[in-house]
Amino acid sequence: MSEFSIKANNISKAYRKGAIGSGTLSRDIEQRLSFIFKEKLEKEVIKIEQNQLNWSLKDVNFEIQEGETVGIIGKNGAGKSTLLKILSKVTTPTKGIMEGYGRVASLLEVGTGFHPELSGRENIFLNGSILGMKKKEIQQNFDEIVDFSGVESYLDTPVKRYSSGMYVRLAFAVAAHLQSEILIIDEVLAVGDAEFQKKCLNKMGAISKNQGRTVVFVSHNMQSIQTLCSKTIFLEQGELAGFGKTSDMIQNYLNRNLVFKHVSERIDRKGDGRVKVVDLVFIDAKSNKITNNFYAGMNLIIDLKLSSYQFNLKSNLEISLGINDQFGTRLTLISNKVSGQTISPLEDGVWTQKIAIYNLPFAMGNYSITLFIASGGVIHDWITEAMPISIESDRFFGELAQTLPNGQGSFYLNFTYL
């Protein structure tokens, strides 16, 4: 067995923009053969104008040792999922060679390898077979798989009636109990509840430390990456921005994301756009002036300017602001659905919505706000990490109080000793 488990040699992956096929069977076969024979591939790529290609990965190199747990981080569109698909042999690289030693078990999408008409019991055997398990091996691990998944009561129910969380529970349980040398997990675990996510993280840690198996894990949750992974691959726009100690890679990732574009310039937003945020400012309630200087204990007003377009909806609006720490972990949610307040649909045009926060409870550090607007189950605007907040001083308990010790939490409770 080689001393390394996975080795990427100048991995690149390109997709043609536009139509999937060329229009003729002979041309499709010719293009496919060009991807098989590397020399023809290079000639084929030269013929295609550069603006017709979308390079998801560009000359990525790394080496993962046996038994290591390695994270992959990067913004949406950085190439994380494409790299996992190449590692899992779901797709082949356009250029370069991916070497892997040992059997690979992967969980890339909810219900991958499941047949909706079959029961959970039948899908354990089906999915296990797809992952390379022999029938005897599945039978030996069956009880443990069912126990870990927690879907025993629904074992003989067709999985088409499962929730997405139940899908993930069963799929992860099968993949984790396959005696593979390499386990590859995408952020599909985010579908599960917090308790199951913790259970999965513990299982992945045990697989790596106790069984000596290699684990590759993609997540936007920096805290999970920090806890689980000894090394991390940092991808940026398809290129390898760094590979090394996890704490260093996370810091590099966070530093590169300190510059925020104005909300009006964000093109990575989701939603139909019938209602969207066009401006956001913070106002110090004490001075009634716009501010970017925040301190724990202040009274803060968030001034949202929104635009409505073809907004003839009947449902009430939901305007939510999620506050995350520097690792992307959600700390709290400000939402009129939580407070029970009603925001009625307005006519087309630009209008303002103000939100007051009393005694801002966050300790010194860097935070970000995610904006979300919806009505009747339809998303109108959704911007992840829309604005930064840096808490620079602490006056939560007054001028003479001490700050919250580093590492002892992210926010304050308003308490007193009696």
| The two three-digit tokens of residue 99, written as one number | 């070497």
> What does DSSP say about strands 69-73 and 231-236: parallel, antiparallel, or unpaired?
parallel
Q: Where are the alpha helices (DSSP H) in 117-245?
A: 120-130, 135-149, 164-177, 194-211, 222-228
pTM above 0.75, yes or no: no
pLDDT along the chain (418 residues), means of 10: 78 74 54 56 52 82 90 87 87 88 73 80 86 83 88 90 82 79 75 71 78 83 83 92 91 72 85 91 93 90 89 76 85 92 79 93 88 88 88 81 77 88
The H or E element containing residue 153 is none
Going by C-alpha positions, the residue among 388, 344, 358, 347 that lies closest to residue 296 is 358
Q: What are residue 185's DSSP bridge partners?
A: 107, 217
Burial of 124 (0-12, 13-18, 19+ CB in 10 A): buried
pLDDT score of 201: 78
Neighbours of 168 (CB within 10 A): 25
Domains, the chain, ordered by start: 4-256 (3.40.50.300), 263-394 (2.70.50.60)
- Name the residue with tokens 């590692």: 87
Edge-to-edge strands of the sheet including 275-284?
Answer: 289-290, 275-284, 300-308, 349-357
pLDDT score of 301: 95
pLDDT score of 31: 57
d(CA 334, CA 325): 15
pLDDT score of 339: 92
d(CA 354, CA 49): 49
d(CA 387, CA 281): 9
**Please, which residues have CB within 8 angstroms of residue 413's CB and are 6 or more apart in sequence?**
361
pLDDT score of 221: 77
pLDDT score of 282: 94
Edge-to-edge strands of the sheet including 239-245?
Answer: 104-107, 182-185, 214-218, 69-73, 231-236, 239-245
pLDDT score of 1: 44
Buried b (16+ CB within 10 A) or exposed e, 7-44: bbeebbbbeeeeeeeeeeeeeeeeeeebeeeeeebeeb
pLDDT score of 231: 93
